[in-house]
Amino acid sequence: MTFGSTRSVTLEGLTGAVVEVEAHLSGGLPAFLLSGLPDTACSQAPSRVKAAAASIGRSLQQDRITVNLSPASIPKNGSGFDLPIAVSVAAALDLVPAEVVRPVVHLGELGLDGSVRTVRGVLPAVLAAARAGCTDVVVPVANAAEAALVPDVRVHAVRHLADLIAAYAACSPGDPLRVGVAVPAAQEAGGPVAPPDLADVVGQEEPRRALELAAAGGHHLFLLGPPGSGKTMLAERLVTIMPRLTREQSIDVLAVRSLLGVTAAELDLAGVPPFVAPHHSATQAAVIGGGSGVVRPGAISQAHHGVLFLDEAPEFKVGALQALRQPLESGHVVVARARSAVRFPARFQLVMAANPCPCGLGFGKGVGCSCSPKAKRGYLARLSGPLLDRVDLQVEVPAVTRSSMVTGGGEPSAAVAERVARARAAQAERWAATPWRLNSHVPGARLRRTPWRLPSSATVDIDRALDRGALTLRGYDRVLRVGWTMADLAGRSRPGRDDLGQALTFRSQGAVAA
C-alpha cells in the first residue's frame, strides 16, 4: 500500500479543527515533503519522524514520502503533529492496518529515540475531537489525565512509538481499539478548601460586606486604602467564599491552562475558582493575551470563572488597564492579528487595590504624606473614568486601629460562603429562563423593563444621581445590579430604596476618596 491516513487536531486559541493527516509513498529521489501550512515547529516534524522510525528499526532514508495536513488552508501549529505523521507513514508502509488508524486522533511530539512526549493544548484539542464525533484519541502518557476529563472519548496513552506500532499491528478492523496504557481517572469535585480564611482579616466590616456582595453577585471591586490596611488579604479571600466551580466550568479553566502547559499536579476538579494576580510590570500581552508567534491566553483568560487581582493598580501600564474595558463587558477577548483573530474566554471578576497616593499615606488626614497635590491627582487618574465606571463596588479600606485588633477577626469564610450560596441560588432561580445566572451579567435594559423594573419610590436616589450627572447610565445599571444582590443576600424578593442607597454609597466611596 502506498497511502495511509489518520487524524489530529489543530488549535487556534481554544478553537480546534480536526485535521486529516495523509501520507503517500511514490517513486523518485528520496525525500520527506510536508504540506498544509505548517509552522516552524511543525515543519521540522520530518526530521524527528525519520529519527524515531530509525530507532524502531525502519529507515525512511530511501523513501519518497509526501505528507499533507488537510484542510491545507488552515495553519498547523506546534510539534503535536509528529505522532499522527508517523502513524500515517506507518500505514502507507503497511506496518499498521490502515482501516484501524484512519479514524483515530493522534496528538504527541516524538523524541529522536521514538519516545512520545507531552504537548500543550491537549484538553481543548480532545474537546474539539469529541465535538467532531471522534471516539478514540491517542496521547502521550503525560497528557492522559487532562484528555480523560473529556466525556464520551476513549483515551489511549502511549510512551513510545514502538509500543504504538506493535499494538496497532495486533489490531483487526472492526475490533475495539486496544492500545496504550491505563489512563488515571480525573479527580472529582470536593478537594480541600484554600488555606486563607476571611476570619484572618481584622476589622474592616464595610470592606468585608463589599467582598460578600462581590462574591454573591459576581461584581467587580475596587479597594482604596493605605498600606497594611488589608486590601490584599481581602482580595485573596474572595475565592474562599465563592461557590465551587461546576465540572463544566472546571474544564473551561483547565482548557486555558492546557494551552500554557498544565502539569499533572494541577489537573483536578476540586472546583476552587482561579485567583490570578499578575505583577504590575506585566505587559499588555501578558494581561490580555497575545504573543509574537502563537497567540497565548493572558491573565484575564487564566482568571476565567475566577478572580483577576490587580494589586497597586495605578502602577500597571495604561494600555493594559484600558484594554480591560471590553472584556469586562463582553466576557471574552479577541486578539487580532494580520492573518487571524483568536478568541479567548474572559468571564472574570476584577478586583483592584490601590494606595491613595504614591507614598501611600495620603488617606484621611494624610499625616506624614510627602506627595504634592499634583502627584496625588495624577496617581489615581491613571485609573480612567471609563474603567472605574465598570467597577460596581468602590470601597475605602481604612487603616487598622488598636480597637479592631482587640476585637479580632470576623466571620470565617465558611459562614459567609453559605449566605453567598443562598444568594446565588436565588439568582439562578430568577434568571433560569434566560442565558444569565448572576445579577452582574444581566443587561441593564432588562432590569429597567417590566417585570423587573422597580418603582420610582425605590429608585428615587439613583434617579437624582443620574439627573445630576453623578451617575452614568452604565453606573445606574450597575447600582441596580448590586441592589438586587443585596436583596438576595437578605432573602428579599426585590430590592428597596435602602438597598439601592447602600449600593450607590458603595459605588461612590472610591471616587470621593480619590
Flag whether 345 is in a domain: yes
- 250 and 388, same domain (yes or no): yes
Distance CA 427, CA 436 (A): 9
Structural domain includes residue 509: no
Q: How far apart are CA 121 and CA 207, in angstroms?
A: 39
Are residues 233 and 211 in contact, defined by beta-carbon separation less than 8 angstroms?
Answer: no
Look at residue 494 and tell me if it is in a domain.
Answer: no
Residues 250 and 386 in one domain: yes
- What SS3 state is found at 136? strand
In the chain, what percentage of residues exceed pLDDT 70?
A: 91
Across residues 360-382, what is the average pLDDT? 75
Whether 239 and 363 map to the same domain: the answer is: yes
Is residue 511 scored above 60 in pLDDT? Answer: no
State pLDDT tens for residues 212-258: 999 999 999 999 988 888 899 999 999 999 999 998 998 899 899 98
The domain in which residue 374 lies consists of 198-416
Is the pLDDT at 267 greater than 90, yes or no?
no
- State mean pLDDT over 55-76: 92
Question: Using an 8 Å Cβ cutoff, are 83 and 161 in contact?
Answer: yes
Mean pLDDT of the chain: 89
Same domain? 298 vs 370: yes
Q: Enter the DSSP assignment of 180.
A: S
Report yes or no on 471 lying in a domain.
no
- Give the separation between CA 371 and CA 383, rounded to whole angstroms: 18
Assess whether 338 and 243 both reside in one domain: yes
Residue 337, pLDDT > 60, answer yes
47 with 84, same domain?
A: yes
Distance of CA 465 to CAs 206, 470, 500, Å? 22, 5, 12
Cβ(1)–Cβ(98) below 8 Å: yes
Read off the DSSP letter of residue 331.
Answer: S
Phi, psi of 34 (to 5 degrees): -130, 125
Among 379, 401, 416, the domain boundary falls at 416
- Single-letter code of the amino acid located at 313: A
pTM across the whole model: 0.86
Assign 261 a pLDDT band (cuts: 50, 70, 90): confident
SS (H, E, C) 56-76: CCCCCCCCEEEEEEECCCCCE
Q: Which of 262-276, 282-296, 332-346, 446-460 has the lowest mean pLDDT?
A: 262-276
Specify the range with the lowest mean pLDDT, choosing from 137-146, 151-160, 193-202, 411-420.
193-202
Q: What is the pLDDT at residue 514?
A: 44
Mark which of 416, 445, 460 sits at the end of a domain: 416
Q: Indicate if 256 and 337 belong to the same structural domain.
A: yes
66, 126 Cβ separation under 8 angstroms:
no
Residue 464 in domain: no
pLDDT of residue 505: 92
Q: What is the mean pLDDT of residues 415-441?
A: 95
Q: Mean pLDDT, to the nearest integer, of 412-434?
A: 95
Domain assignment present for residue 174? The answer is no
Q: Are residues 343 and 213 in the same domain?
A: yes
The 10s digit of each residue's pLDDT in 68-98 is: 999 999 999 999 999 999 999 999 999 999 9
State residue 61's pLDDT score: 87
Residue ranges of E strands in 200-357:
221-224, 275-276, 289-290, 296-297, 307-310, 332-336, 341-345, 349-354
Residue 42 lies in a domain: yes
Whether residue 513 has pLDDT greater than 50: no
Residues 148 and 205 in one domain: no
Predicted local distance difference test score (pLDDT) of residue 184: 55
* Residue 298 and residue 360 in contact, taking contact as beta carbons nearer than 8 Å: no
Quick one: 140 and 276 in the same domain?
no
Quote the pLDDT of residue 359: 81
CATH of residue 300: 3.40.50.300
Whether the pLDDT of residue 364 is over 80: the answer is no
- 135 and 152 Cβ atoms separated by less than 8 Å: yes
* Mean of pLDDT values over 282-304: 90
- Among the three residues 416, 437, 464, which one is the final residue of a domain in this structure? 416
Instruction: Residue 90: give its domain's CATH number.
Output: 3.30.230.10
- Secondary structure (3-state) at 195: coil
Going from the C-alpha of 310 to that of each of 316, 342, 380, the distances in angstroms are: 8, 24, 14
CB atoms within 10 A of CB 475: 23
Average pLDDT of span 189-209: 75
Task: Based on the fold, state whether residues 143 and 202 are members of the same structural domain.
Answer: no
Specify whether 107 is located in the same domain as 207. Answer: no
pLDDT digits (tens, 9 = 90+) for 149-162: 898 899 999 999 99
What pLDDT score was predicted for residue 491?
A: 94
Residue 182 has pLDDT above 60, yes or no: no
**Number of domains present in the structure of the chain:** 2
Asked if residue 430 is part of any domain, the answer here is no
Q: Which residue has the cell 476565567?
A: 304
Q: Which residues contact 277 (CB under 8 A, 6 or more apart)?
A: 235, 308, 309, 310, 311
pLDDT tens-digit series, residues 104-132: 999 999 999 999 999 999 999 999 999 99
